[in-house]
């Protein structure tokens, strides 16, 4: 069972307390800040606390800031605020600080979830040897996973970042078929599943299978084509040209019927 040190758990709150003490001292000692009863030093402290410790320590810091401002900064002395301007200033600070803390915490959570999902996907792709590529239909740029480089035997800068170059890796006899299948899928929004041949840099022939799907934007216009590619060279029957599948219920058009035939 994992055990966490109590000191590690309390450290963000200690940092929060020290930063609020520093903000109070700065406001008291720096005459321009003290004269206008400024909360700017406290706001800077809250931003630092939120980035360092997260939501709860920043809320703790906001509470300390409120008490410190009421007792040390705003007249009269003690936990009372005589001027309505100071009350409004403090209320505005609390609202803005809380809003910033919650929004920052939501962004951090979203980033953690995205990073976690990406790490899981990366592990799954590496374990199954399936490559993923993402074609932007606005720019023609291609993003690909590292496994795609292994399948196509092209690494780093040698692998494509554009669809025109990517389609050039396909065997010349299969190239037109693959391009028309992708085009049909984009125009009709249908998923496709095809097998075709690719040429490696040394001239070696390899069979791959690709399943792709078009994703739409908010206006229901085609935005991206995401596809998964798997090396089928050593699979039984890989060299036999199977029928291309665009949808379980919708047959392919007449000119996109079969994977390019082996020469």
pLDDT band at 246 (very low <50, low <70, confident <90, very high): very low
With a cut of 80, say whether residue 239 has pLDDT above it: no
pLDDT, residue 8, reads 63
Q: Which residue has the tokens 């490559």?
A: 131
Q: Which of 248, 227, 210 is nearest to 137 (CA)?
A: 227
Q: What is the pLDDT of residues 44-63, one digit of tens each?
A: 999 999 999 999 999 999 99
Omega before residue 262 within 30° of 0, cis: no
Where b means 16+ CB within 10 Å and e means fewer, 185-221 reads bbeeebebbbbbbbbeeeeeebbbbbebebeeeeeee
**Mean of pLDDT over the chain:** 83
Confidence of residue 177 (pLDDT cuts 50, 70, 90): very high
Which pLDDT does position 148 carry in this prediction? 87
Share of the chain above pLDDT 90, in %: 50
Task: With H, G, I as helix, E, B as strand and everything else as coil, classify residue 253.
Answer: coil
CATH C-level class of 129-231: alpha beta
Q: What is the pLDDT of residues 53-98, one digit of tens each?
A: 999 999 999 999 999 999 999 888 777 888 999 999 999 999 999 9
What is the spatial distance between Cα 242 and Cα 181, in angstroms, rounded to a whole number? 14
User: Taking 60 as the threshold, does the pLDDT of residue 4 lie above it?
Assistant: no
**Cα(218)–Cα(80) distance, rounded to whole angstroms?**
52
From 2-11, 149-158, 246-255, the region with the lowest mean pLDDT = 246-255
* pLDDT range class, residue 105, cuts 50, 70, 90: very high
| pLDDT tier at 221, thresholds 50, 70, 90 | confident
Closest CA to 69 of 89, 50, 84: 89
pTM of the model: 0.61
Q: Which pLDDT belongs to residue 6? A: 58
pLDDT of residue 253: 41
What are the distances in angstroms from CA 34 to CA 37, 69, 74, 89?
5, 10, 9, 13
In this predicted structure, the answer to whether residue 259 has a pLDDT above a threshold of 50 is no
Q: Where are the domains of the chain?
A: 6-120, 129-231
Structure-token match 């092209």, residue found: 154
């Amino acid at each position: 069972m994992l055990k966490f040190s109590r000191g590690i758990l309390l450290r963000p709150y200690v940092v929060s307390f020290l930063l609020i003490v520093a903000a109070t001292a700065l406001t008291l000692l720096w005459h321009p800040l003290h004269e206008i009863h400024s909360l700017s030093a406290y706001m800077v402290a809250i931003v630092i606390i939120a980035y360092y410790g997260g939501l709860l320590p920043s809320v703790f810091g906001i509470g300390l800031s409120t008490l410190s401002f009421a007792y040390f900064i705003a007249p009269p002395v003690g936990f009372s605020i005589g001027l309505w301007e100071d009350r409004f200033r403090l209320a505005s600070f609390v609202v803005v600080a809380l809003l910033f803390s919650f929004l920052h915490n939501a962004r951090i959570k979203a980033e953690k979830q995205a990073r976690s999902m990406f790490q899981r996907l990366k592990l799954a792709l590496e374990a199954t040897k399936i490559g993923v590529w993402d074609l932007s239909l606005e720019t023609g740029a291609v993003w690909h996973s590292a496994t795609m480089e292994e399948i196509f035997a092209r690494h780093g800068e040698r692998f494509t970042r554009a669809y025109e170059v990517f389609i050039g890796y396909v065997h010349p006899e299969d190239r037109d078929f693959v391009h028309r299948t992708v085009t049909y899928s984009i125009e009709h929004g249908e998923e496709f599943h095809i097998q075709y041949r690719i040429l490696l840099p040394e001239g070696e022939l390899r069979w791959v299978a690709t399943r792709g799907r078009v994703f739409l934007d908010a206006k229901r216009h085609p935005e991206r084509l995401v596809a998964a590619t798997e090396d089928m060279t050593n699979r039984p029957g890989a060299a036999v040209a199977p029928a291309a599948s665009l949808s379980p219920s919708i047959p392919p058009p007449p000119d996109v019927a079969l994977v390019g035939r082996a020469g």
